[in-house]
């Protein structure tokens, strides 16, 4: 009986202590919230009652006006540059337009192409020429001109209207392996180097521009060959385009480049 009474007394004391602690925590939290509310009221009162100086308003308006003027100037310069670039592109295309539609053995519409000085114009021009090469693929290597069998083929046509060479060679390799082999064989990825060729011609290959993405490789090079007949110069644009059902490897010659002195080019070359 005495033990039960002692347990009840101890439990009552514990409950009383727990309630006291809970009340103290409540009062402390209440005091903190009241203090926060008072601080917020003071801040709000200061914001509402404090007038904004006209000098501050003038400074903010001046900053906004200067920012708008700078943006307008930037846009104006961009418009002027774009207008100038459009005119240059139009003139560039006009310089390459064929004077007369002469029938040639190879169905080449843009026989001669060139590049101008402006870096942005050059980039756009190289991209355009690369697209022209890609979209002309079906015309130049349509399946009808190749045999349906797996036999090798070499067919050449030569005359006053130009020359046309059709070659079919069957290899036991993947398209990716063949594309890489052609890219290297065409010397589209050579660094600045002096390389002897099969006919003992010293050939210097200089990369002028290159661009690589997941779907396309493009490289613009200058080849200088020192032969017994003298110096031979050719500028070539190489592309390698990866498509779902094929890989297109092609290159073509650039007839003139405004960044270089004019050079003698006896023929225009395009190969797919």
Q: Is 228 a residue whose pLDDT tops 60? A: yes
Predicted local confidence at residue 194, as pLDDT: 46
Task: Calculate mean pLDDT across residues 161-183.
Answer: 81
Residues 76 and 179 in one domain: no
Model pLDDT for residues 176-225, shown as the tens digit of each residue: 888 888 888 777 765 544 455 545 557 788 889 888 888 999 999 988 88
Nearest to 217, CA basis, from 234, 239, 200, 187: 239
Residues 208 and 152 in one domain: yes
Residues 18 and 67 in one domain: no
Residues 20 and 142 in one domain: no
Pinpoint the alpha helices (H) of the chain.
Answer: 2-49, 54-96, 119-135, 137-140, 175-185
Predicted local confidence at residue 110, as pLDDT: 58
Provide the domain limits for residue 26: 1-44
Q: Is 49 a residue whose pLDDT tops 70? A: no
Nearest to 137, CA basis, from 239, 272, 2: 272
Q: Is 240 a residue whose pLDDT tops 90? A: yes
Tokens standing for 71? Answer: 């943006």
- HEC letters along 35-69: HHHHHHHHHHHHHHHCCCCHHHHHHHHHHHHHHHH
Predicted local confidence at residue 105, as pLDDT: 47
Residues 162 and 230 in one domain: yes
pTM: 0.62
3-state SS, residue 258: coil
Q: 104 versus 24: which is more confidently predicted? A: 24
Tokens standing for 54? Answer: 């006209």
The rounded percent of the chain whose pLDDT value lies above 90 is 6
Residue 161 lies in a domain: yes
Between helix 119-135 and helix 54-96 the angle, nearest 10°, is 50
Residue 119 lies in a domain: no
Residue 175 lies in a domain: yes
Residue 108 lies in a domain: no
Tokens standing for 239? Answer: 């592309």
Tokens standing for 31? Answer: 């005091």
Residues 139 and 265 in one domain: yes
3-state SS, residue 203: strand
3-state SS, residue 103: coil
Residues 77 and 188 in one domain: no
Residue 126 lies in a domain: no
Residues 207 and 253 in one domain: yes
Cβ partners under 8 Å of residue 50, min gap 6: none
Choose from 114-118, 152-156, 201-205 the range with maximum mean pLDDT. 114-118
Predicted local confidence at residue 231, as pLDDT: 80
Residues 155 and 39 in one domain: no
Residue 129 lies in a domain: no
Torsion of CA 205, 202, 228, 270, to 10 degrees: -40
Residues 66 and 151 in one domain: no
Residue in the block written with tokens 């774009």: 82
Residue in the block written with tokens 């779902």: 244
Confidence of residue 2 (pLDDT cuts 50, 70, 90): low
Residue 15 lies in a domain: yes
Question: Structural domain tally of the chain?
Answer: 3
Which of 95, 121, 154 is at the close of a domain?
Answer: 95
Task: Calculate mean pLDDT across residues 111-138.
Answer: 85
């Amino acid at each position: 009986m005495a033990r039960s009474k002692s347990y009840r007394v101890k439990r009552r004391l514990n409950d009383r202590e727990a309630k006291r602690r809970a009340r103290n925590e409540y009062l402390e939290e209440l005091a903190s919230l009241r203090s926060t509310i008072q601080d917020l009221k003071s801040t709000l009162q200061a914001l509402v009652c404090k007038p904004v100086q006209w000098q501050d308003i003038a400074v903010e308006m001046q900053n906004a006006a200067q920012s708008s003027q700078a943006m307008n100037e930037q846009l104006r310069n961009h418009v002027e540059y774009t207008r100038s670039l459009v005119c240059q592109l139009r003139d560039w295309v006009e310089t390459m337009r064929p004077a007369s539609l002469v029938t040639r053995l190879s169905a080449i519409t843009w026989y001669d192409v060139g590049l101008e000085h402006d870096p942005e114009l050059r980039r756009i021009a190289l991209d355009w020429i690369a697209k022209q090469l890609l979209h002309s693929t079906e015309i130049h290597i349509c399946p009808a001109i190749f045999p349906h069998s797996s036999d090798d083929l070499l067919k050449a046509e030569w005359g006053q209207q130009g020359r046309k060479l059709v070659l079919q060679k069957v290899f036991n390799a993947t398209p990716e392996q063949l594309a890489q082999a052609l890219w290297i064989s065409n010397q589209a990825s050579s660094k600045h180097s002096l390389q002897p060729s099969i006919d003992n011609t010293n050939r210097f290959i200089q990369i002028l521009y290159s661009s690589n993405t997941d779907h396309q490789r493009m490289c613009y090079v200058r080849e200088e060959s020192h032969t017994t007949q003298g110096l031979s110069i050719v500028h070539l644009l190489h592309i390698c385009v990866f498509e779902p059902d094929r890989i297109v490897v092609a290159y073509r010659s650039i007839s003139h480049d405004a960044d270089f002195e004019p050079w003698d080019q006896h023929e225009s070359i395009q190969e797919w």
